[in-house]
Every structure is written in C-alpha cells, then in structure tokens.
Amino acid sequence: MNTIKVVVLGALCLAMGVAFAQELTPEEKEAKKAAAHEKMLKATGGLIEIPGQGKIVIVNGQTKIGAEAISERVEALKKVVRVNIESTTCEKCQKGECAEGCIVKAIQLPEGAQAAVFIINNPELPMSLIATEAGWGILNVAGLNEGKEFKTEFNRVAIMTFGGCVSQFKGSPMQTVRGTNDLNKLIGDGFTFDAVQSMMKNLQNVGVTQAKRSTYKKLCQEGTAPAPENEYQKAIFEQVKAEQSEAPSNPIRINPGQKPLKK
C-alpha cells in the first residue's frame, strides 16, 4: 500500500513539474511584460527622475591609469551617493606641464563645483593630499597599479574628500594605510553605509543634494509634478486635481497604524 502511495505521489509531482516547466513563448513574455508596464503607468503615471542640486567633479590629470578604470570608479561612486558627478580632463596636467602648478600649488575647484577629486601622477608626492574644508582631494597614482590598489585608493580619497573619513566596519577601506602593501591587505575596498551617510551630510551642507525617483502621482499630490507628457500622466493629473478639490480644507490626519476615533 505504501509503495502504491509513493508511486502515485511521484507521478503527481512529475506531472506538476512538467506543467510548471512549460515556459511562455517570447511573444507571451513580451505581452505579459507590456501589460504589467501599462498597469503601472495607469496607476502611477510612471517614475520621474528628479536631479539633485550642485555637483562634484573628478579631474583626470594623468595617463598611467586608463580612462575606462576611472569611468568605472566614477559610475560606482554615482550609484552610491546619487549626486551629479562630472568627469573632466586636464590636458596640461597629463602632459606634465602643470603637475605642480594648478594641481598642487594653486588648486581651484572647477566652475560650479562644490567638491572635486584630482587624479595625478607625481612620484614626489604621497598617495593622497586632502583638504576637506576646501572641498578637494588629490589622488596620486604614481605608486599604484590599475587594479585593487587604484580602486581602493580612489574610494579612500573620495570618502575623505567628501567628508566621510572614518568607518566602524573592518570591511571599509578607511583603515590604517601607509602604502600599497596596506591597500592590498584591506578586506574591503567599497563604500560602507556609515561613510556614505557622513559624505552625504557634508555634501548637503555645501549644496550638493541627491537625485531621487518618485512616481508622477506622488509628485502631483505634493504639488511638484512637471506638466504631463502623455495620456497616463494627464489622467493622473486630473484625478489628483479632482481629489484635492473635493478634499476637506481641514482634514483629520490619522497616522499609520492609528485607529480612527469612535463617534
């Protein structure tokens, strides 16, 4: 009897597995995806990217580290802090014509920038020179390779320049570093959340704010939505407008989780 039960259960499981294993065709997948997207647009009006204010700039003044490696670090930093980050190149610095001029002796932030990191190649200088109060930091790649050493030191200089400086986590690059040997011994080379919080607090104090995403409906409710650009946003705009015109002028506010008072 037990054997029969096992066989029957096995057959049922096999049949269910075959049913679940049936995949949708590419056309069916596309149609399902399109339907879900349209449902989201009807309900919210879509996601709107709201750029932040201010900017920080990464200035490349060397040729030892490739542009691709620098771009990868800049993109990683963008994802972490979500602020406007621009990249630029100082050709004179790359040619060695002003490595001890505009970069070190008379350093100036790029126009419109609240903070900047300058990347140079000068064997006579240390790996980093930081002036957090002035909003700039220098990353010297003279003794670094393009792999872990550059990646880790870039993150360290960015954190120190933008006001992070310390972290309580062993996985942070903000540990004791006196040279490339120490860089290679570090467990982590990324951005820990406490360093990011410290960076953002400092950047916000000097006028650099994060970009954020919000639904068109929420922006309409807040009164900050741009003009509608499609039929979905027009419908959301009119819906919110009608709801707000019908709402009482002095509504009773109920906090989340709070039960309404009984009459």
**Both tokens assigned to 94:** 């790359």
How many structural domains is the chain composed of?
Answer: 1
Indicate the SS3 state at residue 92.
helix
255 is a domain residue: no
What gap in Å lies between CA 219 and CA 241, rounded to an integer? Answer: 12
CATH number at 126 reads 3.40.390.10
**Both tokens assigned to 68:** 């691709």
Q: State the pairing for strand pair 56-60/85-89.
A: parallel
**pLDDT tens for each residue of 105-144:** 567 888 899 999 999 998 988 999 988 888 899 999 999 9
Can you give the residue range of the structural domain that contains 150? 50-205
What gap in Å lies between CA 60 and CA 87, rounded to an integer? Answer: 8
The label of the residue with tokens 């054997």 reads: 3
41 is a domain residue: no
Whether the predicted model's global pTM rises above the 0.85 cut: no
Which contacts qualify for 246-255: CB closer than 8 Å, 24 or more apart? none
**pLDDT tens for each residue of 206-255:** 889 888 888 888 888 888 888 888 888 888 888 888 888 776 555 544 45
Q: What are phi and psi of 120, to 5 degrees?
A: -130, 170
Q: What is the DSSP string of 147-211?
A: THHHHHHHHHHHHHHTT----S-TTSS-S--SSHHHHHH-S--S--HHHHHHHHHHHHHTT----
